[in-house]
C-alpha cells in the first residue's frame, strides 16, 4: 500500500456531481475520518477497520439521473482499543457532520493487517516465548509468527477479549519459504487490544520438518529453456470504454466498486438489447468465504478461517504492479481505504480488466454448400488477487458476447502444513515430515438480481425420465420440470448434477417474442458440502455452508452470509437467522445467495506451491433474448486469412 498514489480521476467538487456509486476518493476517506475524529473527540486508541462508501438506497440509484446531486456518505467501523468497544458511524461528506453513531455491543471487527505485524512483534518480545524457542534450539531471528483469528468454541476466558492464536514457523534463510517448516506444539495467544501475550501453549517439542520447500525463482535451477515468447497485442487498443468506474464492453454495462471486506463489487450489470439497456444484476459480491480444516488435534482444531468476515479480502488485495497476473491491453483500477489508524492507504492496480480470446463462439459447416461460418469468442475479464496468510485467491468475473456471465475463483499459494507426528490420517505427507492438512473452501456469493426489473421469482429445474409406456415406447424420452419457490425455506437447496439441476431467476411480467418469461439460470460448477458435524462450532458460525442455494427478499441490511461480525462470534447469524421468518420470495425483489465449495485432499504435487485450482459457476440467459444475441459478432480477420 501507499499513501501517495491517487485513485481514478473522480471529482469531489460539489459543482460536479459524481455517480452515487463511485467509490470514495482518498480525499473523501481522509475527510470522513477527520469528521468523526473531531466530532466524537476520539483518542489515539481508536482503530478504523472500515471506511467505505455508504451506498445510497437502491431506489435512489435506480431513479438517478446524470448530473443529479446525491448526498455522499461514508460508513465507518471503529474499534476502541482502550475499552474493546465497537462502533458504527455514518459521516456526511455533503454536510461534514456525523449523522449516526452507534455502539455495537458484544462483537469483534475484522483483524487488520497492522494488528498482524504488531502481534508478531509482541510475541517475539515475550520472554516466555523466547524461552520456548530457545528450548527448541531455534534462533529467534529465524522465527515467523502468523496470527490467526481464534474462532469461537465456547471455551472459558475467551469471551469479550479480542484474541489471536498464532502459528509459528522457521525461515531457513531470510528469503526462504517458512510455511514448509512449522513449529508445531507452540501456540502463543495474544490480546490484540493490549498487544499482550496472555498464554504460551507449549504442547511439547515436535521436530521441525528439515527441508525448506523452496519455490522462488532464485532457488529453482535449472529453468525450462524451451518456452517461446507469446505476446498479446491489440494495435487499435481494447474494445472497452471506461468513465470513472463505469464500464461498457460489447453491449455490457456495469460499474466497478471495491470494499476492504468484499474486495471487488459489481453494480448495475446490464446488457444493451434492441436499443435499450436491460438490467440483470443490481449488485454482485463475495459475501463470505470460509476455510474449515479437518484435523481434530489440539494444534489444529481451531483452524477455520472466515477470510471475508474475520480479515477482509479487499484489505489483503495484491497490488498487480508486480508479476504477470494479467496479460494484454490492461486497464487497472486502484483501491482506496485506510490502515487501522485511519490513515489513507492506496492499493495500486488492485483490479485488472482486460480482454481475452476464448476460442470458438459458434460455428457451423454446411457441407453441401462448402460453406463455413465461425466466430471467435472474446470475453472481458475483471479480477483481483488477494493473499490470506499461506493461500492466494484470484477472483474473476467473465463477461461473454452471448450474454453469459461466469464467476471463477483460482486457488493457489502454499498448503497449510503441520509437522508429521504420526501417520497423517487427516492430511497428506507431501515432503519429509510435512503433513498437509485436509480442508475445504466455501464461497458465498450475494447476487441481487433485477432481471428486466425489480420483481423476480426463482425456480428449480430438474430433468426427469419419462416412464416406459404408451407415451414412451422406446424408453428414450426425458423432460425438464420447473418448480417455483414461494418462500425462503422452500428455496434452501443443494445441487443434484444427476438430475441436471439448475436454478433460474425469472421476471414473470416480461416475455420474449415466443411468449416465454425472461430469465437467467445459475449453472453449478465444482461443488461439495461440508464434512463438519451438524453440531460443530464451525457449522453454528457458518450455517450458510449447509445449502448451495438460499433466496431472500431484498433487505438493505442483509449483506453478509454469516452476519456482520463473525470474528469470535458463537454463530447463528446471517442466512440461517434471516430465513427463519420464511418470507415470501415470489414475484418480488429477490437476492440469490449461491454457495460453492472446493474440496482439497492435498497431494504431493501441491507442494511446495500449488498449481492453481478453479471453482465457480455460470449465469446463462434462458429466454432473456429472442435468439442468439451473438449473431452480430463479425468474422475475425488475421494477417494471413479471413475467418468466416
Q: How far apart are CA 183 and CA 178, in angstroms?
A: 10
**Are residues 458 and 491 in contact, defined by beta-carbon separation less than 8 angstroms?**
yes
Q: Which of 179, 282, 293, 391 is labelled catalytic?
A: 391
Q: How far apart are CA 354 and CA 326, in angstroms?
A: 8
Q: How far apart are CA 496 and CA 489, in angstroms?
A: 18
Angle of helix 113-124 relative to helix 127-135, nearest 10 degrees, comes to 70
Other CB atoms within 10 A of residue 470 CB: 5
Q: Which of 184, 191, 295, 307 is labelled catalytic?
A: 307
Cα 280 to its chain centre, rounded Å, is 20
Q: Is the peptide bond before 256 cis (omega within 30 degrees of 0)?
A: no
Q: How far apart are CA 257 and CA 18, in angstroms?
A: 14
Q: How far apart are CA 17 and CA 405, in angstroms?
A: 31
Can you give the C-alpha Rg of the chain in angstroms? 26
Beta bridge partners of 352: 332, 383
Measure the N-to-C terminal CA separation of the chain; round to a whole number of Å. Answer: 48
Angle at the Cα of 537 from the Cα atoms of 534 and 538, rounded to 5 degrees: 80
Catalytic-residue membership of 391: yes
Can you give the length of the chain in residues? 644
Residues sharing a CB contact under 8 Å with residue 521, sequence separation 6 or more, in sequence order: 461, 502, 503, 504, 505, 619, 620, 621, 622
Phi, psi at 529, each rounded to 5°:
-105, 160
Grid cell for residue 426: 487427516
**Are residues 383 and 395 in contact, defined by beta-carbon separation less than 8 angstroms?**
yes
Q: How far apart are CA 320 and CA 326, in angstroms?
A: 8
What are the distances in angstroms from CA 248 to CA 20, 270, 421, 633?
18, 10, 56, 16
Beta bridge partners of 170: 143
397 CB burial (10 A radius; 0-12, 13-18, 19+) = buried
**Are residues 524 and 490 in contact, defined by beta-carbon separation less than 8 angstroms?**
no
- Per DSSP, the three-state class of 396 is strand
If phi > 0 it is left, if psi is from -120 to 50 it is alpha, else beta; for residue 257 that is beta
Q: What residues are annotated to the active site?
A: 307, 391
Amino acid at each position: 500500500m501507499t499513501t501517495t498514489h491517487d485513485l481514478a480521476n473522480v471529482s469531489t467538487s460539489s459543482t460536479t456531481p459524481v455517480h452515487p456509486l463511485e467509490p470514495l476518493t482518498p480525499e473523501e476517506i481522509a475527510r470522513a475520518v477527520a469528521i468523526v475524529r473531531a466530532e466524537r473527540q476520539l483518542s489515539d486508541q481508536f482503530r478504523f477497520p472500515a471506511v467505505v462508501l455508504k451506498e445510497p438506497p437502491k431506489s435512489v440509484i435506480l431513479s438517478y439521473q446524470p448530473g443529479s446531486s446525491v448526498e455522499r456518505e461514508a460508513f465507518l467501523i471503529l474499534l476502541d482499543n482502550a475499552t474493546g468497544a465497537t462502533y458504527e458511524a455514518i459521516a456526511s461528506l455533503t454536510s461534514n457532520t456525523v449523522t449516526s453513531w452507534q455502539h455495537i455491543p458484544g462483537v469483534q471487527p475484522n483483524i487488520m493487517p497492522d494488528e498482524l505485524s504488531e502481534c508478531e512483534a509482541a510475541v517475539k518480545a515475550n520472554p516466555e516465548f523466547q524461552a520456548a524457542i530457545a528450548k527448541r534450539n531455534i534462533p529467534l531471528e529465524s522465527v515467523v509468527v502468523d496470527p490467526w483469528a481464534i474462532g469461537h468454541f465456547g471455551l472459558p476466558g475467551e469471551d469479550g477479549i479480542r484474541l489471536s492464536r498464532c502459528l509459528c514457523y522457521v525461515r531457513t534463510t531470510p528469503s526462504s519459504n517458512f510455511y514448509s517448516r512449522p513449529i508445531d506444539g507452540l501456540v502463543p495467544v495474544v490480546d490484540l487490544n493490549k498487544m499482550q501475550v496472555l498464554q504460551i501453549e507449549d504442547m511439547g517439542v515436535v521436530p521441525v520438518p528439515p527441508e525448506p520447500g523452496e519455490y522462488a525463482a532464485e532457488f529453482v535451477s535449472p529453468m525450462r529453456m524451451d518456452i517461446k515468447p507469446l505476446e498479446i497485442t491489440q494495435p487499435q487498443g481494447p474494445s472497452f470504454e471506461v468513465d470513472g468506474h463505469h464500464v461498457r464492453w460489447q453491449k455490457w454495462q456495469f460499474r466497478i466498486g471495491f470494499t476492504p471486506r468484499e474486495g471487488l463489487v459489481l453494480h448495475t450489470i446490464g446488457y444493451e438489447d434492441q436499443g435499450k439497456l436491460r438490467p440483470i444484476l443490481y449488485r454482485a459480491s463475495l459475501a463470505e468465504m470460509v476455510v474449515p480444516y479437518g484435523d481434530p488435534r489440539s494444534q489444529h482444531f481451531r483452524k477455520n478461517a472466515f477470510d471475508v468476515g474475520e480479515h477482509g479480502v479487499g484489505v489483503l488485495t495484491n497490488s498487480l504492479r508486480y508479476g504477470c497476473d494479467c496479460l494484454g491491453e490492461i486497464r487497472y483500477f486502484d483501491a482506496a481505504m485506510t490502515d487501522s489508524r485511519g490513515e489513507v492507504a492506496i492499493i495500486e492496480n488492485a483490479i485488472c480488466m482486460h480482454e481475452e480470446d476464448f476460442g470458438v463462439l459458434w460455428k457451423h459447416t454446411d457441407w453441401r454448400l462448402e460453406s463455413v461460418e465461425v466466430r471467435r469468442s472474446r470475453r472481458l475479464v475483471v479480477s483481483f488477487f488477494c493473499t490470506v496468510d499461506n493461500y492466494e485467491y484470484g477472483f474473476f468475473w467473465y463477461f461473454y458476447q452471448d450474454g453469459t456471465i461466469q464467476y471463477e475463483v483460482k486457488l493457489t499459494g502454499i498448503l497449510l502444513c503441520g509437522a508429521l507426528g504420526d501417520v497423517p490420517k487427516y492430511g497428506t505427507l507431501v515432503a519429509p515430515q510435512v503433513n498437509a492438512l485436509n480442508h475445504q473452501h466455501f464461497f458465498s456469493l450475494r447476487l441481487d438480481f433485477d432481471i428486466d426489473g425489480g420483481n423476480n421469482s426463482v425456480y428449480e429445474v430438474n430433468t426427469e425420465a419419462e416412464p416406459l409406456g404408451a407415451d414412451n415406447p422406446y424408453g428414450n424420452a426425458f423432460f425438464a420440470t420447473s418448480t417455483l419457490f414461494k418462500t425462503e425455506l422452500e428455496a434452501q437447496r443443494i445441487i443434484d448434477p444427476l438430475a441436471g439441476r439448475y436454478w433460474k431467476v425469472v421476471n414473470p411480467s416480461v416475455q420474449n417474442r415466443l411468449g416465454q418469461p425472461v430469465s437467467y439460470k445459475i449453472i453449478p460448477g465444482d461443488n461439495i458440502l461440508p464434512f463438519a458435524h451438524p453440531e460443530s462450532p464451525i457449522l453454528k458460525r457458518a450455517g450458510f455452508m449447509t445449502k448451495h442455494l438460499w433466496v431472500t427478499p431484498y433487505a438493505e441490511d442483509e449483506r453478509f452470509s454469516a452476519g456482520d461480525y463473525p470474528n469470535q462470534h458463537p454463530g447463528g447469524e446471517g442466512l440461517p437467522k434471516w430465513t427463519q421468518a420464511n418470507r415470501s420470495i415470489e414475484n418480488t425483489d429477490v437476492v440469490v445467495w449461491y454457495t460453492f465449495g472446493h474440496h482439497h485432499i492435498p497431494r504431493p504435487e501441491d507442494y511446495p506451491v500449488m498449481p492453481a485450482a478453479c471453482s465457480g459457476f455460470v449465469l446463462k440467459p434462458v429466454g432473456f433474448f429472442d435468439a442468439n444475441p451473438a449473431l452480430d459478432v463479425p468474422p475475425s480477420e488475421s494477417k494471413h486469412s479471413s475467418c468466416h
